[in-house]
Amino acid sequence: MRADGTRLEWRGGGETLVVEPWGPDAVRVRATLMGDVVDSEHALLPREQVPPAPDARVELRADGATLVTGALRVELRVTTWFHEPVGYERSHCEVAFYDREGRLLLRELDRGGSLDLQARRFRPRLGGDLELTASFESDPDEKLYGMGQYQQHVLDLKGSTFELAHRNSQASVPFVLSSAGYGFLWNDPAIGRATFARNRTEWHAEATRQLDYWVTAGDSPAQITRAYADATGHAPMMPERGLGFWQCKLRYWNAEQLLDVAREHRRRGLPLDVIVADFFHWPRMGDYRFEEEFWPDPAGLVAELRELGVELMVSVWPQVSVESENYSHLRRENLLVRAERGLDVQMAFQGPSAFLDVTNPEARRWLWETCRRNYGSLGVRTFWLDEAEPEYGVYDFDAYRYHLGSNLRVGNLYPQLYARAFWDGQRADGEEEVVNLVRCAWAGSQRYGALVWSGDISSTWQDMARQVTAGIHMGVAGIPWFTTDIGGFHRGDVSDPAFHELLVRWFQLGAFSPVMRLHGDRLPYEDVTAADGSPRLRSGGPNELWSFGEDVYRVLERYVHLREALRPYLRDVMRAAHTDGQPVMRGLFHDFPDDPRAWDVDDQFLLGPDVLVAPVLEAGARERDVWLPAGARWTDAATGEVHDGGRTVRAQAPLDVVPVFLRDGALDHVVGRTTGAVPPGAPVP
């Protein structure tokens, strides 16, 4: 065991272990076989970019060492013994983490005597990579939150297992917050698995070069999320256009359709900040430009929308068709992902395709320069980075190779680097207000202006309920900008009264989400044909506020105006996300950690610190129970009635009303707006 300042290094048993401060209340732990640990640009920022740990200190002992930094104490205990079954001496260094009061937070798996267990298990893979499992003792009483977005209505993750891989509607962000008072980041983009069982916690990487994780201690969830943002990067300040309403559908297939919708919003006096040109506004997948027949004057389109106070967002996919005008160049320059075996077709939606290899800096540069030339030069400054997992036709994670290595070793970096391609390009071009919609994320994505939506989910009540816990967990995992397809993406029928009820309830949920965005592939479909008779990708049915009948419209109109009434408050909440690393959509436990019930409520959330939202998540429900956390007084936004916290109330919820409660007299101008007692569009004091 040796110390270099506050950096501890142990070598033994063929292993190198390094523990060092990485923030004032946090450490980074790395280990590898035989050689030295390496620096890596994954989720963690370089040490010189995180806040210093001025009070960190180390103490060496004969049997190990102690490192103390702020609220965290790390104990390294070295054990050496003669192992009779093999006939030679062995050694091991165990790592354990404690808070400032000496309470055990987390400890590596014990050797178990004759069981001879290994807390850090490396196995060689062909090509020099290592398969790795890191095991920790499990605290059966702790509750766990985070891990990004998985399609399940589960709040406490204890007892769950997670695939560390991305899929359409699954964003694996490997950070977990414990009710015991610590946060843990698995700083490895490898495909793998995380298991939070009662008998042990395990993190597994299919292929890696080293063990790499980060631990912080804090007295509250707010302290832990702040430290995590300091270590992985803060989200930028949300631009003003991100605070209002975004209109979208699959798909507006010509410029006049899109303009008609924006004009109608203005004619009706409806707020609108962003409208979207969805995919296949291009001739071929991977062309990255407007098709002239349907979009003859895109610069004029952008200009007229801007006169209406609306920004155009343009869809960009990383998928490149073999028929694209760019395919040959990208293949020749090795800027596409490569299949490890068999036919090199990675996706066949609308024809055989490959994915742009955004782990290659040259591919990222090419992508931005192409989009700047064909979109940015027209005035477009907001992009929809779809299919960012990427969505392979078959999720054989060992079948693909990137510039940075095999998909097994680096695959989870893809959405982060996809967002970075646009962030780096836009910032270099002088754009100060970057927000891009991305269909996936990994740890650190937030620092690149990534607004993550939950993917192509179905139009069901079950799917809507899942988005509540998904948004909470994404906030814990450091992704404060989150949204969903209001109404769900698949199978919503414009003429179906049952869908109308779901849409209304989802729209109410969306009005109190970090970003409010209406989208979906609605029924019935519409065929699209070019002037020469050749087919184009179909369009879904109408998806505007006025598309579902007058009764539905009156409710949606009320809530899109209510969103505007929230704008000043949302601006403050977004500023706290930017400066202090706090989630925008969060579980009740975040602000009320001393309330035991707050750690278990999975069907409510807080929008910032002062707005409690209890969405209606069941068909036909017209009332619901709401838990009001202890330690505050809560005003019913519908009735103005004030309740003490620490109790359950039965809230009335007719179809046009979502239960919302306001903390300690905050936002009194919202009272009456959920019921229509305050007319839509009434001024905000």
Task: Note if 84 is an active site residue.
Answer: no
CB atoms within 10 A of CB 393: 12
Beta bridge partners of 339: 400
Asked whether the beta carbons of 187 and 410 are under 8 A apart, the reply is no
Q: At what angle do helices 461-476 and 221-232 cross, to 10 degrees?
A: 70
Given 25, 188, 386, 485, which residue is catalytic? Answer: 386
Kind plus residue range of the DSSP H or E element containing 648:
strand 647-652
Domains in the chain (CATH in brackets) are 2-217 (2.60.40.1760), 250-317+359-394+403-570 (3.20.20.80), 587-670 (2.60.40.1180)
Q: Which of 270, 336, 363, 284 is nearest to 559 (CA)?
A: 270
* Buried/exposed code over 207-221 (b: 16+ C-beta within 10 A; e: otherwise): bbbbbbbbbbbbeeb
For tokens 């009335």, the residue is 652
Residues of the chain with pLDDT under 70: none
Q: What is the pLDDT of residue 458?
A: 98
Report the alpha-carbon distance of residue 474 to residue 441 in Å, rounded: 9
CB atoms within 10 A of CB 623: 13
Asked whether the beta carbons of 21 and 14 are under 8 A apart, the reply is no
Q: What is the pLDDT of residue 530?
A: 97
Asked whether the beta carbons of 389 and 412 are under 8 A apart, the reply is no
Q: Which of 28, 38, 32 is nearest to 14 (CA)?
A: 32
Radius of gyration of the chain (CA): 26
Beta bridge partners of 440: none
Q: Which of 19, 144, 31, 71 is nearest to 600 (CA)?
A: 144
pLDDT tens sequence across 540-577: 999 999 999 999 999 999 999 999 999 999 999 999 99
Residue 530, CA distances (Å) to 294, 321, 435, 518, 587 in order = 8, 19, 33, 27, 49
Report the alpha-carbon distance of residue 451 to residue 435 in Å, rounded: 6
Task: Note if 398 is an active site residue.
Answer: no
Asked whether the beta carbons of 382 and 241 are under 8 A apart, the reply is yes
Report the alpha-carbon distance of residue 679 to residue 685 in Å, rounded: 14
pLDDT tens sequence across 64-122: 999 999 999 999 999 988 888 888 888 999 999 999 999 999 999 998 888 888 999 99
Report the alpha-carbon distance of residue 603 to residue 505 in Å, rounded: 13
Instruction: Measure the N-to-C terminal CA separation of the chain; round to a whole number of Å.
Output: 64
Kind plus residue range of the DSSP H or E element containing 569:
helix 567-580
Task: Note if 456 is an active site residue.
Answer: yes
* 572 three-class SS: helix
Q: Which of 207, 201, 66, 97 is nearest to 147 (CA)?
A: 201
Given 139, 188, 273, 456, which residue is catalytic? Answer: 456
Angle (nearest 5°) at CA 645 between 640 and 651: 50
Given 129, 389, 521, 636, which residue is catalytic? Answer: 389
> Cα 509 to the chain's mean position, in Å?
18
What is the signed CA dihedral for 255, 258, 263, 264, rounded to 10 degrees? 140
- What does the DSSP 8-state code read for residue 38? -
pLDDT tens sequence across 273-303: 999 999 999 999 999 999 999 999 999 999 9
Kind plus residue range of the DSSP H or E element containing 3:
strand 2-4
